[in-house]
Amino acid sequence: MTAGRKKGEAPASPAVIQAARPLRIVTWNINSVRLRLPLLADLVAALSPDVICLQETKCPDEHFPHDGVEALGFAHRAVRGMKGYNGVAILSKLAFTTRDGADPDWCGKGDCRHLAVEIDAPGGPVELHDFYIPAGGDIPDREKNIKFAHKLDFVAEATAWSAQRKAAGGFKRAVLVGDLNIAPLEHDVWSHKQLLDVVSHTPVETQALTAMMAAGDWHDALRHFVPADQKLYTWWSYRAADWRASDRGRRLDHVWVSPDLAGGLRSHTVLKDARGWEKASDHVPVLIEVAT
């Protein structure tokens, strides 16, 4: 289900956003949009985003809390969800065109892990992709764990898709965000050595995600601001007795931009305090500002 306009339809009344101001995009694995709708209001108050990309909404389209989201100022919404699992949504103050049918059904599962729109940004259209890559279970062996096999197959398909887009002229004015469930760099995890055999940081996964990024000439927007030798996390386990004190995090949430937008990157925010909110998600919101 989508609530954005379709190709050929007149755009809705434009949001009042100064043309010179960068576009503010947030990605967040909310871990149930209905359960954590009040926290979405806290996010909006803290970050003032123009666009929010959600993952793991765990909500069928017909039960998505449209009224609550619209009350926060997001008149334009695209949702793709299912009961109890997965699900993605894009919430926007700016009008957009949906891309229904324009992108693959990953692994032929129809499991609501990707959504794409074209945002009517102040500087011109921006193609926006919201991904939720499979977590992969606990055993990093595709022969013993079908969830891990699904994860690797998903990333392989996304890599081939990126390569096809590149061969056709490349991504232009594009942003890819989401919970990619892989921490690719040494300092994207609290202990590189201890997590080499842990799903999300195994060599086969990190190499696969690096290949996906390279296939589309994507630019890592967060590492644009934070050097690769500095720790950067967006997720802290529910299992930690004191997540802040132990700080055993991982960077599972990502923002990539096409080369033509890399020079427009202005700032980033990892809203770490959100991990301490009541009934928090184990992921925290991530914002980038990009001039379009």
Give the tens place of pLDDT for each residue, 156-184.
Answer: 999 999 999 999 999 999 999 999 999 99
* Residue 199: DSSP 8-state: T
Mean pLDDT along residues 139-143? 98
Quickly state the pLDDT bin for 4 (edges 50, 70, 90). low
Mapped onto helix, strand or coil, the DSSP state of residue 34 is: coil
Mean pLDDT along residues 53-60? 98
Burial of 230 (0-12, 13-18, 19+ CB in 10 A): exposed
Q: Is 132 a catalytic residue?
A: yes
How far apart are alpha carbons 282 and 276 in whole angstroms? Answer: 9
How far apart are alpha carbons 124 and 23 in whole angstroms? Answer: 11
Percent of the chain exceeding pLDDT 90 equals: 90
Exactly one of 50, 179, 188, 253 is catalytic; name it.
179
The response to whether 282 counts as a known ligand-binding position is yes
Quickly state the pLDDT bin for 5 (edges 50, 70, 90). low
The response to whether 217 counts as a known ligand-binding position is no
What is the pLDDT at residue 100? Answer: 76
Mean pLDDT along residues 239-248? 94
Quickly state the pLDDT bin for 241 (edges 50, 70, 90). confident
Q: How many CB atoms lie within 10 A of CB 231?
A: 14
How far apart are alpha carbons 213 and 256 in whole angstroms? Answer: 8
Exactly one of 132, 188, 201, 219 is catalytic; name it.
132
Mean pLDDT along residues 198-204? 99
Asked whether the beta carbons of 133 and 155 are under 8 A apart, the reply is yes
What is the pLDDT at residue 12? Answer: 44
What is the pLDDT at residue 81? Answer: 97
The response to whether 179 counts as a known ligand-binding position is yes
Residue spans per domain, the chain: 23-290
How far apart are alpha carbons 276 and 81 in whole angstroms? Answer: 26
Is the predicted pLDDT of residue 155 greater than 70, yes or no?
yes
In CATH, what number does 23-290 get?
3.60.10.10
Q: Is 85 a catalytic residue?
A: no
Percent of the chain exceeding pLDDT 70 equals: 93
Quickly state the pLDDT bin for 20 (edges 50, 70, 90). low
Q: Is 179 a catalytic residue?
A: yes
Mean pLDDT along residues 144-161? 98
Mean pLDDT along residues 192-213? 99
What is the pLDDT at residue 15? Answer: 45
How far apart are alpha carbons 214 and 27 in whole angstroms? Answer: 21
Question: Which long-range contacts does 70-76 make (Cβ < 8 Å, 24+ apart)?
Answer: 72/40, 72/41, 72/44, 73/44, 75/12, 75/15, 76/3, 76/4, 76/5, 76/12
Is the predicted pLDDT of residue 10 greater than 80, yes or no?
no
The response to whether 283 counts as a known ligand-binding position is yes
- List, for residues 77-132, the tens digit of each pLDDT value: 999 999 999 999 999 999 999 987 788 899 999 999 999 999 999 899 999 999 99
Tokens matching residue 91 = 């919430």
